[in-house]
């Protein structure tokens, strides 16, 4: 309050507006103004944090400049919001009822005057409020959300956009994950992904009228009998299974030519069970699990019960019991634990900013063959600003490799340097702290893209030339002669 009294009426007014807007979106009946996207921005977070919105005062817009007529839901007065796609390229957009209890939502890409609808949802999983999951978005690109009440009318609602980890890798039958008796698999289901029938259209999917968000597995029979596989989730999942095949390679090679499945379920249940009688040792079967609910949920796949057992020698040569990544000061600490290792030579710790391009940060020697518990750790001393992705590449002594699941952490650099003037239109002087000279300067934009900057060394710091950089808010990262990096925020007008 004291600060507000000192800063004058204008700042008081601005502060009051900011306080009013906290937790509430501004309203925009159209996506653009003056040829530029002007809809209020939504922050993409790692968890859902609802913010209130309203359609009160809006009108129904269906002309081409305002997205045209959406493909789902009876149209009503609509409002628009924008967000920037995270580096994973995957998001989930959730809504919550206010005075509007039956909402509709659509997702768009493109630019003013030329928008393309990506997805549209009316009722989601028994609710009359919509939800959209989308992947393969372009990191750093702007996308638009359109919301309205089904059939007309106006009111209030809440909305959040959550960044999702990239889908797991076994989304095609050409890349399958092994499962076996006594080694259940639990994974976070894919959402917003392409159906199996789209990715692999040559297969016969039997009872599966749709096959959204697929995950593919294979298993090999060790002892004959009746094969039973339990599939457990929080919401609707389905499955189909094919075989027998003479070998793992034969099952994978037959991808896109699978005939009618041996067993299949398209029920509304969150639990399913595979049952195949008369399986023979050595046979291989291919299992497809689909996340019909299209919601973020954990799915467990367990080969248990029945009289048949499956071969665990086909499963990863390392049995992980823990694998975590967390921010520790100005670094990211990675830790993992194994309870079994077979012929394990070493781990390569890999990092990525987009889950596409990976670099190896270091190597940790494995335990060879062991049934003892082993704890491992590695520290990334120079994480990037924003979301960092990590995985372990496990390498056998014969050169074969397997990858762990991916872990992501969000890292924010600590302020160390004073930057002036800030904001700046041309040059920014970075005041050096201590006696260590600054040897490099980089600007990092909100989606993690790095640009090396020219600078001149002056007494007390460096003068950075920002004239070639687009306006916006950046982290300015400086590295000293000992290789230590810290950053501050700089605004370029």
pLDDT tens per residue, the chain (493 residues)? 333 333 333 333 323 333 333 345 667 889 998 888 999 999 888 778 888 999 999 999 888 888 889 989 899 999 999 999 886 677 889 999 999 999 999 999 988 988 989 889 898 766 899 988 776 677 788 999 999 999 999 999 999 998 875 545 678 887 787 888 866 676 767 777 778 998 899 999 999 999 998 989 899 999 999 999 999 988 899 999 999 999 887 888 899 999 999 999 999 999 999 999 999 999 999 999 999 988 777 788 888 788 999 987 676 567 676 788 888 877 889 999 887 787 888 999 998 877 777 888 889 999 888 877 889 999 988 787 778 888 888 888 877 777 777 788 877 665 567 888 888 888 989 887 666 788 888 887 765 677 888 988 888 888 999 888 888 877 788 877 766 666 677 778 7
**Cα–Cα distance for residue pair 402/198, rounded to 1 Å:** 27
DSSP state of 248: H
Rounded to the nearest 5 degrees, what angle is found at the Cα of 405, between the Cα atoms of 168 and 310? 85
Residue 446's pLDDT is 62
**Smallest Cα–Cα separation from 84: which of 472, 446, 489?**
446
Residue 414's pLDDT is 54
Residue 169's pLDDT is 61
Q: Length of the chain in residues, anyone?
A: 493
CB 357 within 8 A of CB 436: no
Domains and CATH numbers, the chain: 24-163 (2.60.120.380), 177-314 (2.60.120.380), 318-411 (2.60.40.10), 418-492 (2.60.40.760)
Residue 125's pLDDT is 65
**Cα–Cα distance for residue pair 185/409, rounded to 1 Å:** 23
Give the DSSP H or E segment for 160: strand 156-163
Residue 168's pLDDT is 53
**Cα–Cα distance for residue pair 106/126, rounded to 1 Å:** 18
DSSP state letters, 285-351? EEEEEE-TT-S--EEEEEE-SSS-EE-GGGS-SEEEEEEEEEEETTEEEEEEEEEEEEEEEEEEEEE
> Could you give the 3-state DSSP secondary structure of residue 4?
helix
**Cα–Cα distance for residue pair 251/244, rounded to 1 Å:** 8
For residue 66, which phi and psi values (nearest 5 degrees)?
A: -110, 35
DSSP state letters, 211-233? --SEEEEEEEEEE-EEEEEEEE-
CB 383 within 8 A of CB 376: no
Residue 88's pLDDT is 66
DSSP E strands: which ranges in 38-97? 44-45, 51-54, 78-84, 91-97
Instruction: Tell me whether strands 44-45 and 156-163 are parallel, antiparallel or unpaired.
Output: parallel
DSSP state of 237: -
Give whole-number Cα distances, 37 to 18, 115, 116, 144, 377, in Å: 21, 11, 14, 9, 45
Residue 443: partners with Cβ closer than 8 Å, 6 or more residues away: 450, 451, 453, 466, 469, 474, 475, 476, 477, 490
Residue 11's pLDDT is 32
**Cα–Cα distance for residue pair 429/438, rounded to 1 Å:** 12
**Cα–Cα distance for residue pair 402/394, rounded to 1 Å:** 5
Residue 323's pLDDT is 82
């Amino acid at each position: 309050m004291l600060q507000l009294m000192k800063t004058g009426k204008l700042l008081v007014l601005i502060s009051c507006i900011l306080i009013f807007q906290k937790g509430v979106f501004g309203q925009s009946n159209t996506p653009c103004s003056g040829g530029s996207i002007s809809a209020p921005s939504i922050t993409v977070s790692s968890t859902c944090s609802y913010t209130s919105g309203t359609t009160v005062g809006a009108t129904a817009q269906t002309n081409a400049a305002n997205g045209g007529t959406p493909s789902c839901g009876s149209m009503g007065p609509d409002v628009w919001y924008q967000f920037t796609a995270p580096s994973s390229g995957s998001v989930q957009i959730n809504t919550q009822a206010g005075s509007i209890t039956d909402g509709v939502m659509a997702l768009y890409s493109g630019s003013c005057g030329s928008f393309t609808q990506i997805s549209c949802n009316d009722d989601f999983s028994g609710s009359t409020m919509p939800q959209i999951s989308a992947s393969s978005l372009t990191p750093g690109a702007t996308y638009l959300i359109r919301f309205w009440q089904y059939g007309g009318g106006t009111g209030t609602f809440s909305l959040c956009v959550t960044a999702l980890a990239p889908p797991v890798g076994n989304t095609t039958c050409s890349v399958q994950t092994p499962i076996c008796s006594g080694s259940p698999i639990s994974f976070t289901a894919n959402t917003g992904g392409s159906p199996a029938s789209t990715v692999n259209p040559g297969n016969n999917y039997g009872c599966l009228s749709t096959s959204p968000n697929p995950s593919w597995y294979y298993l090999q029979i060790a002892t004959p009998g009746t094969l039973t596989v339990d599939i457990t989730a929080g919401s609707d999942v389905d499955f189909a299974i094919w075989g027998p095949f003479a070998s793992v390679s034969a099952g994978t090679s037959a991808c896109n030519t699978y005939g009618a499945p041996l067993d299949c379920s398209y029920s509304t249940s969150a639990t399913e069970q595979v049952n195949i009688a008369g399986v023979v040792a050595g046979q291989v079967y291919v299992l497809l699990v689909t996340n019909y609910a299209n919601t973020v949920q954990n799915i467990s796949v367990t080969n248990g019960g029945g009289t048949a057992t499956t071969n665990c020698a086909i499963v990863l040569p390392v049995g992980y019991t823990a694998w975590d990544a967390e921010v520790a000061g100005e670094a990211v600490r990675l830790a993992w634990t194994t309870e079994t290792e077979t012929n394990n030579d070493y781990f390569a710790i890999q990092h990525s900013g987009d889950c596409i391009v990976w670099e190896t940060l270091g190597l940790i020697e494995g335990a060879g063959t062991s049934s003892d518990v082993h704890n491992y750790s590695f520290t990334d001393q120079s994480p990037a600003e924003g979301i960092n992705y990590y995985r372990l590449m496990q390498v056998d002594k014969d050169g074969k490799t397997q990858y762990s699941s991916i872990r992501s952490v969000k890292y924010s650099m600590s302020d160390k340097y004073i930057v002036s003037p800030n904001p700046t239109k041309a040059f920014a002087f970075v005041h050096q702290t201590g006696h260590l000279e600054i040897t490099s300067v980089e600007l990092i934009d909100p989606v993690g893209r790095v640009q090396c900057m020219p600078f001149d060394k002056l007494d007390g710091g460096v003068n950075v030339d920002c004239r070639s950089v687009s306006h916006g808010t950046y982290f300015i990262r400086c590295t000293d002669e000992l290789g230590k990096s810290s950053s501050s925020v700089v605004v370029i007008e």
